[in-house]
Chains A and B, each alone.
Chain A
Amino acid sequence: MTEADEKDGTPTVLVDPIDMSKLDPEFRNEIKSMPNGEELNACFACSTCTAACPIANIWTYKPHQLIRMIILGMREEVLSSDEIWLCLTCFQCQERCPQKVRVTDIFFDCKNLAAEEGKIPENIVGLAKTLLEKGQLYEVTADWEREDMDLEPEVPGLSTDEFIEIVKATRTGKIAGGEE
């Protein structure tokens, strides 16, 4: 590359500038008050979580960046990101964090906040509907297979009504109920 080339065009930036006026300083406190969010501020951005993540290569925002974005208050960007839903929940990031930040748990908290705002992938809404209607994700359909194995055709002890009652009254009911 010649010197002339370098002077042409717009300068390369690694990260788009952050518009400080759009930050939500309360976002970090919101996450910190949620289950297992207490250690959020301990993050010193070492990127160990990203190194441990088996799919960080396909993420636009890497795990350590998402944590930093939460601390900075980039609420909208985090809660609208595909990344929180692509998280495998394999806990490799959380397991290796030298600062004991519960990274995977915090992404679960983010998903709950996103869900509260109705930002949920369609297929997950489908699962919520299944849970609300059936009280379980999988139903026995091939009971002859169970009988082949000398098992009762119906699962002994199974009772789904109580499950359905519980999730009808919580957020699942809001997400999956009503709009049919």
Chain B
Amino acid sequence: MGCSVPANYPNYEAAMHKVAEGLGMELEYMEGVACCGSPNLRAIDMMGWLTVNARTLAIADKNGHDIVTPCNGCFGSLKDVYHFLKHDAKYLKEVNAVLKKEGLEFKGVAKPRHFVEALYSDVGIDEIKKKITKPLDGVGIAIHYGCHILRPKDVTEFEPKMLQDLVTVTGASVIDYPLWKQCCGATVLPVSEDLAIRLARDKLKSMTEAGAAFATVCCPACGNQLDLQQLGLKDSYGEEYNLPVLLYPQILGLAMGLDEDEVGLSMNRVAADPILEHLTE
């Protein structure tokens, strides 16, 4: 689950559980795990970052289940470490020597996966379609995938089509916009807030100009940048976007008939309830 979703986005966590339940997907909290460390830990302490993520992967190996996460940060770290340790015997030996003290070993059997990829691959679009009871009326949604689910592609193995299909199956349409690949700025926030805000603003501008009525994200850090930062843009740029940003399971949940409280719509910073008007009865 990571640290950001439980602490900052309980609406994301709850919507994920409810959607999974409705689709017959069984999710279990992993025992004994903590943070991925984020790219900040990777920047200053490669060995620490490799070890903590290898530990989480080793616990998954022991449990015999894949890891599913709703956070691009956790996904990126776990995937990067998984890929790296699969290809580097020297570091693998070093990391496993540390893990051995806890009786753990990174074997690389259980895989780290993103929740949206698991929806797409394990449940499948056809099965999801059967559960859509309140489809959206074709409203235009801009997808912000987030960098660490898309790239480096040889590591993440994620296809944009997965999330596109997951959005269109709800009845919504996907809006193409020029900056779809671009970063939200979250990672640079601790070093340069101005730059981070500029990047979020550029994305919002690109989405809005392309005609998006809503945006969707699958990462708490991206959600923070695109949703929360909109409030500050009134002062810094004199611009108001009022673009509701929904976490993907919120959209799917609504289309599956969950109500706005069940997906925690009121916790989104930019009022997200206009999406209710786009649900067909």
- Chain A: residues with CB nearer than 8 A to chain B? 34-36, 54-55, 58, 85-92, 94-95, 102, 104-105, 108-109, 111-112, 115, 120-121, 123-124, 126-128, 131, 135-141, 145-146, 148-151, 155-160, 162-163, 166-167, 169-172, 175
Contact = CB atoms under 8 A, between A and B. Distances in A.
B2 to A, nearest CB: 8
Given A54-B199, A162-B55, A108 B46 contact: yes
A159 B14 contact: no
B3 interface: yes
Give the 9 A-B CB pairs with smallest separation, nearest first.
Answer: A91-B151, A170-B48, A136-B35, A149-B14, A90-B183, A138-B7, A136-B3, A156-B29, A157-B29
A131 B41 contact: yes
28 contacts: A35-B46, A35-B88, A54-B182, A54-B199, A85-B43, A85-B191, A89-B39, A90-B183, A91-B148, A91-B151, A92-B147, A92-B151, A92-B181, A95-B152, A102-B152, A112-B45, A115-B44, A124-B43, A124-B191, A126-B190, A127-B41, A128-B40, A137-B38, A139-B7, A149-B10, A151-B10, A151-B17, A170-B51
A163 B45 contact: no
Contacts of B227: none
B212 to A, nearest CB: 19
B44 A136 contact: no
B8 interface: yes
A171 B151 contact: no
Interface in B163-204: 181-183, 185, 187-188, 190-192, 195, 199, 202
Contact of A108 (B13, B37, B42, B153): B42
Contacts of B185: 88
Nearest to B42: A108
Among A104, A137, A139, A145, chain B packs the most CB atoms within 10 A around the CB of A137
Contact of B183 (A54, A158, A162): A54
Contacts of B264: 148-149
Contacts of A86: 188, 191-192, 195
A134 to B, nearest CB: 8
Given A86-B191, A138-B6, 5 more contacts: A54-B182, A105-B152, A121-B190, A124-B43, A127-B38
Interface in B241-273: 264, 267
Nearest to B181: A92
B232 to A, nearest CB: 18
B3 A139 contact: yes
B254 to A, nearest CB: 15
Contacts of A172: 41, 44-45, 48
Given A35-B84, A95-B153, A124-B44, A90 B29 contact: no
